[in-house]
A and B are shown apart, each in its own frame.
Chain A
Amino acid sequence: MIRGAGLIDVELGPRIDSFAGASGEDKARQFGTYGYPIRARKPA
């Protein structure tokens, strides 16, 4: 998806349980939903 847009050096950071303790936690678990930092670069 990101590379498809022409961006390079795509990197995913550590997973974080963004919904832990929130009312949406159950729904998040249903789909295995977690937060991630993501970075990429536009070619020079």
Chain B
Amino acid sequence: MADILDLVDVQELRNEVQKKYRDVAEKPEATYHFHTGRQHAIRLGYDQAILDQLPDQACEAFAGMANPFYWETPRAGERVVDLGSGGGMDSFFAALCVGKEGRVVGVDMTPQMVERSRHLAKELGFDNVEFREGYVEKAPVDDGWADVVISNGVFNLCPDKVGVCREVARILRPGGRMMIADMCIEKPIPESALRDIDLWTG
């Protein structure tokens, strides 16, 4: 099979992903091909005692695949990077876990999602979390900064998955943890489907 990077125009894919998630940021109440919001997070197994501390605006644009905090939540005082932070729910969830001594940085390439998350952080009084615009393949985070990297439903949208994983390794400190959630497929995808940008985004 051909290298996936030869089958997909990365910039075209990014444009389509941005378009889709711009809509989610601006119209979280609309219907999408995937589930969104608080009830979806509960169904995925998020700790409801922590989730209940977040208001609806912090949850409504959530569009994750599973629960990255399935084994554990980030610890007090830790530094967390959320790659592809989207509507911000996972970043805010992590911010509750790490507390005042910890720090969370959410990275997202969609300007509307970053703007939405920044606005929410200010409105909700989260001063231990910030959102930066950027690509997960080249995150605006220093080498070895993070104790934990989280992500949810993002790697599947990146053609260069090894590259993204190398970026995770770069920004983690030695001994740091990656805790992500994403989709895995059980059947092989034909090349014709890999070339179809519409199938990548839904």
Which one of B94-102, B121-129, B174-182 is at the interface? B174-182
Which of A12, A30, A36 is the most central at the interface, judged by chain B CB atoms within 10 Å of its CB?
Answer: A36
Task: Label chain B's interface by main secondary structure.
Answer: mixed
Residues in chain A near residue B168, CB distance under 8 A: 5, 7
Instruction: Report how many residues on chain A are interfacial, defined by Cβ distance under 8 Å.
Output: 34
Q: B175 contacts A35, CB within 8 Å? A: no
Say yes or no: is B119 at the interface (Cβ < 8 Å to chain A): no
Contact of B31 with A23 in the complex, beta carbons under 8 Å: yes
Q: How many A-B residue pairs have CB under 8 A?
A: 123
Interface residues of B in 173-193 (CB under 8 A from A): 173-187, 189, 193
B12 to chain A, nearest CB (A): 20
Partner of A18, one of B44, B169, B177, B186: B44
B-contact bits for A3-33, CB 8 A (1 contact / 0 none) = 0111100011110101101111001101111
Closest to A21 in B: B35
Q: How many residues of B contact A (CB 8 A)?
A: 42
Give a binary string over B16-55; 1 marks a CB under 8 Å from any A CB, 0 the rest: 0000000000000001111100000000110000000000
Q: Are B34 and A24 in contact (CB under 8 A)?
A: yes
Verify if B88 is at the interface (C-beta below 8 Å from A).
Answer: no
Interchain CB contact under 8 A, A34 and B186: yes
- Judge whether A33 and B180 touch: CB under 8 Å: no
Bound state CA distance, A43 and B172, in angstroms? Answer: 10
Q: Contact at B162–A1, with CB atoms within 8 Å?
A: yes
Interchain nearest-CB distance for B8 vs A (Å): 16
12 example contacts (A-B, Cβ-Cβ < 8 A) are as follows A4-B165, A16-B67, A31-B185, A31-B193, A33-B185, A34-B186, A35-B64, A38-B180, A38-B182, A40-B177, A41-B177, A42-B178
